[in-house]
Structure 1
């Protein structure tokens, strides 16, 4: 890998994380405009209003940049700085899911062989799935945070880390009692690893 390839890759990955993060937050903000005390098109008026505000904001930003082109230098610098922070490779993260599982190896992910970390991560995910159809990323991340791990990651960055480990993530996974959101479905893991009987029994108890 050339000297410039590594930072370029980090910025590219970070840009994807930032784009996904901004998109998710914008979508969540627009969705919060829905009125649950109304039905039909009236309930969605708040969403349409917020969507219009987003479009207006983008249009005003475009007009400002057209009027002051040098502003692009400042915006580009801010974006690159944010992408650099968000594009840390999983090996650079302070800790990983492998440390969360009670029976996982004690090594940090950047000290352990990649195969061992991936296997430990998959085992941890199986433990969180238990006897359900899947697990939501927000719940996985909450479990990690409860154990003092991955504190600097949000769901979007966590998803990027999982995909880097070639662990499939679905945009919509239904978990009984918890609704539908981005997560990992057990069917996608069947070909990657099998849950240990002890883990399933422990989580199902």
Structure 2
């Protein structure tokens, strides 16, 4: 890979990471507007207000760029710097002798272990659980979510866990049903035992 290709790859990867981080932070900020002391649509008014503020900020930025087009050069330079920095922390491309992708069943077992007796677990709890074991160093919740979705493990946008103040991204026990191959093996084992 040439130096120019490596640079472009780092900026592209960094842009993806930066977009996920900005979106995750905006979504978390909007979700914190939900009030627990109210129910129904009134509880979500804070979320809608924060979403409207984000939309208004985007509109005002667009109007500012339309009024002063040279500002776009500064915004582009700022974005490139942010993408370059985020791309530096991105995992290196997999080498041929790198370990294989994690087994889906092992990841499900890890999620169930982090979940304990609860019906769901937040991704930040899973990430802390991984980092206690010396894995996932430097990962963010968005990185963990992307890896889980790549393994086809459903991540729900709003999961409420007992003891937490607000719902956030997480995994539910009901979504961690064993894969068809494991279920087929279990049924074969029970039929041979009978």
Superposed counterparts of 1:4-153, under 5 Å:
4-87=4-87, 88-91=89-92, 113-114=97-98, 116-119=99-102, 125-130=107-112, 137-147=123-133, 149-153=135-139
Q: Secondary structure at the match of 1:64?
A: helix
Count the aligned residue pairs. Answer: 172
Which residue pairs with 1:181 in the alignment? 169
CA root-mean-square deviation? 3.9
Mapped contact 1:18–1:82 kept (Cα < 8 A): yes
Evaluate the alpha carbon distance shift between residue 123 and residue 38 of structure 1 in structure 2; reply closer, same or farther with a 3 A threshold: closer
TM-score, normalised with respect to structure 1 = 0.62
* 8 Å contact kept, 2:12–2:83: yes
* Structure of greater relative contact order (alpha carbons < 8 Å, 6+ residues apart): 2
Higher gyration radius (CA):
2
| Structure 1 alignment gaps of length 5 or more | 93-109, 194-205
Q: 1:154 aligns with which of 129, 133, 140?
A: 140
Question: Cα–Cα, structure 1 residues 175 and 142, in superposed 2: closer, same or farther, change >3 Å?
Answer: same
Cα drift, residue 57 of structure 1? 0.9
Cα–Cα, structure 1 residues 27 and 126, in superposed 2: closer, same or farther, change >3 Å? Answer: closer
Indicate if the aligned counterparts of 1:169 and 1:182 stay in contact, CA closer than 8 A: no
User: Equivalent residue of 1:35, what SS?
Assistant: coil
Gaps of at least 5 residues in structure 2 are 183-194
Distance 1:42 1:173 in 2: 20
With over 3 angstroms needed to count, the CA separation of the structure-2 counterparts of 1:187 and 1:41, relative to structure 1, is: closer
Q: Is the 8 A contact 2:65 2:71 kept in 1?
A: yes
TM-score, with structure 2 as normaliser: 0.65
2-11 vs 145-154, greater mean Cα deviation:
145-154
